[in-house]
């Protein structure tokens, strides 16, 4: 019985304040992308893109690859390309898919005063 408890203890999620799944105070430029920045990049509001992801649609166009008329689309395309390369590298090195869309983001405090600012649900993504 003691061995079984030790196995379960190792499997438990890290619930400390250092866990980015529980406390995400700010977005990092190289690892995170605010989904709202995709608003109307392909003629659709960001909320409609989110609805398609939640419904499980397999392929969703986020933005054009390059657009000489729109600087914002070019910056987003570059950022998405970097995220794709980083995800591919992590998948190759570790063998795990670690690209997720976190929605909705909860903000608040627990009864003991611990600050919580984190996504409630994670939807796995693949950028291609």
SS3 110: coil
Residue 111, token pair as written in the block? 């009864």
Residue 40, token pair as written in the block? 């109307």
Are 33 and 80 in contact by the 8 Å Cβ rule? The answer is: yes
pTM score, whole prediction: 0.69
Q: What is the pLDDT of residues 54-88, one digit of tens each?
A: 898 888 888 877 777 778 888 888 888 898 898 89
Q: What is the pLDDT of residues 33-57, one digit of tens each?
A: 888 888 888 788 988 988 998 898 8
Of 116, 22, 21, 99, nearest to 53 by C-alpha is 99
- Counting Cα atoms < 13 Å in the Cβ hemisphere of 93 gives 7
For residue 120, CA distances in Å to 66, 96, 110, 111 come to 33, 21, 15, 18
């Amino acid at each position: 019985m003691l061995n079984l408890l030790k196995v379960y203890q190792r499997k438990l999620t890290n619930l400390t304040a250092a866990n980015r799944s529980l406390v995400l105070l700010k977005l990092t430029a190289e690892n995170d992308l605010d989904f709202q920045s995709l608003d109307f990049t392909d003629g659709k509001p960001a909320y409609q893109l989110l609805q398609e992801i939640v419904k499980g649609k397999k392929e969703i166009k986020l933005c054009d690859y390059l657009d000489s008329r729109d600087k914002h689309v070019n910056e987003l395309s570059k950022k998405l390309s970097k995220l794709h390369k980083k995800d591919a590298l992590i998948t190759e090195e570790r063998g795990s898919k670690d690209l997720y869309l976190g929605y909705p983001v909860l903000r608040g405090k627990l009864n003991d005063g611990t600050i919580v600012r984190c996504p409630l649900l994670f939807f796995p993504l693949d950028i291609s």
